[in-house]
Chain A
Amino acid sequence: MRRYFPLIVCAFAIASGFVAPAVEPEVRPKAEASGLHAHETHASASLLGQFRTSITSWLWLRTDLYLHNGVEMRPLTDQELEVGQQGVTSAESLHKEGLTVVPAAERDFRGTLGDIERATRAYKNMEGHSHSSPLMALPLYRLMTWIEPTFEEGWRTGGAVLAMGTDPHQHELAIDFLMEGLKANPKSLMILNQIGFTLAVKKKDYGKAIPIFEQARNIGLHTKVMNEADQESFRDVYRWLTLLYRETNQPEKQQMVATEGLKIFPDDVVLSKSGEAQMPTHKDEEDHHDHDH
């Protein structure tokens, strides 16, 4: 009998495994839905989410760095802004010059050590600087949206970078990329706006672009709280819709959307002049890209 004892124990263990689901409701009653997401109720999910967000933010910053060929830029400090406002030093001019983390020799107290740093770190005078081709950063956008699919900015910028130039195949790829982003963020005004822009401006397919912007308009109208970026996108949605309705000779709809938009954004000059607005020229298109970046 003793020889078979381990076998009996194993059999009991396996049997209890089968019985467990039957008794589970008794020992662990089903929790009522709290309406919270997994990351709000599970520490591990929250931790993983934090990790993903941090990695994505880091990648976002690195992308910016690569676009400047490794030269680290920095914004003005509060103190510098304050000094600028007081007019003691032209802080604004500092900004225009392209303020780098490693300072220029005239703003460096370190002497030789500063010269050494300018020779060893990726440093150059960034006054009127240009950027490296955003195409080189494309895999990074892919990487960051893979790690954090809810990172709308990554989808939007990645889509914009893909759609650069005049290659129709690239435009298709951009649409596919953005659609993938939309699947992960079905209520994203930012992504819808970018899809609509690509369809309207790059593919000149106004018929497909209008429903996308309408979808965005509908989402926006039902969204109670919006952050600054979403508000900006929502405003763009109205601008594009008025322009597209005008281009497709639908003056009533154009008027209606413009009026609705002006109720939400009363100071918007584009909307107020929407009746007279033209489709954007090539230059406007580039401006839009710059704005995106």
Chain B
Amino acid sequence: MNKILIWRALARGVLLESIRRKDLWVVAILGFIIVCSAGALGFFGMSGLESFAKDLAASVLGGFSTILAIVTTGRLMPEETKNRTLYPLVARPISRFDLLFGKFLGGVAVAWISFLILCALTALALSIFGVKMEPIMLQYVMLKMMGLVVVCAVSLMLSTLMTPSAAVTMSFVILFGSSMLSRGLLMAFSTADPGVAPFYRVINGVLPQVSLFDIGGRAANTNWRLVPLWVIGALATYMVLYSAAMLSLSWAKFRRQAL
């Protein structure tokens, strides 16, 4: 049977449920908050606040979309088990990997759509106040979408190991904490023995490097060059490899799990 059609069916199911459950209403409310915030900034006059407005938009977009991705994906598998909707699914002639991957794609689709809606609302709000959109903004959107794939993969992996609330909490801790831990390692390394570099590299490699996908700092400030193609290629490779590793861990746990 065509695997792509199976994954598409599962992902569409997740998306349809999410839309009907009015998850995207949350996005609309967040978008409204963004527009209102932009209006508040307009009160002070946008002249000179462009960097701040863009920086704020990038931070809010990054934060909200990551939260939405974590909450959506972290609930997918545990809720299937809890609500007993899993049985009719696993009774079908599909492998458990297909099920996981299809759900993962659904989570990514929900995260991407939410992010793009927020982006559109933010762009609208900023353009009303005359903030110029630059090509690097498109790179920001593209890289952020790639980063959301990693976020979804981490969240899905954790959700197969623990309860939904624990998975969501741990996802927040890991995804937001990993960049702080990376910073800590870098600072510690500045005074550490160079021999410990491999050890530091292993710890850093295990952590999800989601912050690498965030070019908000460049997009918000002026005169930064576009991110080179080789970097985008490297990040795409990282996204694929890290997500595959996370999905493999999920599958290792889920494939023999008693339902």
A residues with a Cβ closer than 8 A to B are 62, 65-66, 69-70, 72, 74, 77, 79-80, 83, 89, 94, 101, 103, 107-113, 115-117, 119-122, 132, 135-140, 142-143, 146
List of B residues within 8 angstroms of A122 by Cβ: 217-218, 221, 224
Given known contacts A69-B222, A120-B212, is B52 in contact with A140 (CB within 8 Å)? Answer: yes
Contact present for B44 and A146 (CB under 8 Å): yes
List of A residues within 8 angstroms of B47 by Cβ: 139
Name 16 A/B residue pairs within 8 A (Cβ), A-sorted: A62-B52, A69-B221, A77-B190, A109-B200, A109-B204, A110-B204, A116-B238, A120-B215, A120-B218, A121-B211, A132-B222, A135-B48, A139-B44, A140-B49, A143-B44, A146-B44
CB distance from B126 to the nearest CB of A (A): 15
List of A residues within 8 angstroms of B209 by Cβ: 113
In the complex, which of the residues A66, A103, A119 contacts B186, with contact meaning CB atoms closer than 8 Å?
A103
Complex: how many Å from CA A115 to CA B217? Answer: 16
List of A residues within 8 angstroms of B213 by Cβ: 120
Given known contacts A69-B222, A136-B48, is B217 in contact with A116 (CB within 8 Å)? Answer: no
CB distance from B100 to the nearest CB of A (A): 27
CB distance from A122 to the nearest CB of B (A): 4
List of A residues within 8 angstroms of B205 by Cβ: 113
List of A residues within 8 angstroms of B185 by Cβ: 109
CB-nearest residue of chain A to B52? A140
Q: Which of B88-126 contact A (CB under 8 A)?
A: none
Complex: how many Å from CA A66 to CA B52? Answer: 8
List of A residues within 8 angstroms of B191 by Cβ: 77, 79-80, 83, 89
Contact present for B228 and A119 (CB under 8 Å): yes
Of all A-B residue pairs in the complex, the 3 with the closest CB atoms, nearest first, are A70-B221, A122-B217, A109-B197
B residues with a Cβ closer than 8 A to A are 41, 44-45, 47-49, 51-52, 55, 143, 183, 185-191, 197, 200-201, 204-205, 209, 211-215, 217-218, 220-224, 227-228, 231, 234-235, 238
List of A residues within 8 angstroms of B44 by Cβ: 139, 142-143, 146
Contact present for B48 and A120 (CB under 8 Å): no
CB-nearest residue of chain B to A66? B51
List of A residues within 8 angstroms of B189 by Cβ: 107-109
CB-nearest residue of chain A to B234? A116
Contact present for B220 and A121 (CB under 8 Å): no
Main SS class of interface, A? helix
List of B residues within 8 angstroms of A121 by Cβ: 211, 214-215, 217-218
Given known contacts A109-B197, A139-B47, is B204 in contact with A70 (CB within 8 Å)? Answer: no
Contact present for B186 and A70 (CB under 8 Å): no
In the complex, which of the residues B49, B186, B190 contacts A139, with contact meaning CB atoms closer than 8 Å?
B49
Contact present for A119 and B231 (CB under 8 Å): yes
Contact present for B45 and A136 (CB under 8 Å): no
In the complex, which of the residues A79, A110, A120 contacts B214, with contact meaning CB atoms closer than 8 Å?
A120
CB-nearest residue of chain A to B139? A120
Given known contacts A109-B189, A120-B214, is B52 in contact with A139 (CB within 8 Å)? Answer: yes
Contact present for A70 and B218 (CB under 8 Å): yes
Complex: how many Å from CA A36 to CA B142? Answer: 53
Given known contacts A62-B52, A111-B201, A140-B52, is B221 in contact with A103 (CB within 8 Å)? Answer: no
CB-nearest residue of chain B to A72? B217
List of A residues within 8 angstroms of B201 by Cβ: 109-111
Complex: how many Å from CA A121 to CA B212? Answer: 7
CB-nearest residue of chain B to A112? B234
Given known contacts A62-B55, A69-B221, A79-B191, is B48 in contact with A137 (CB within 8 Å)? Answer: yes
Contact present for B52 and A70 (CB under 8 Å): no
Complex: how many Å from CA A112 to CA B234? Answer: 9
Complex: how many Å from CA A66 to CA B190? Answer: 26
CB-nearest residue of chain A to B204? A110
Complex: how many Å from CA A214 to CA B186? Answer: 50
List of B residues within 8 angstroms of A89 by Cβ: 191
Contact present for B190 and A103 (CB under 8 Å): yes
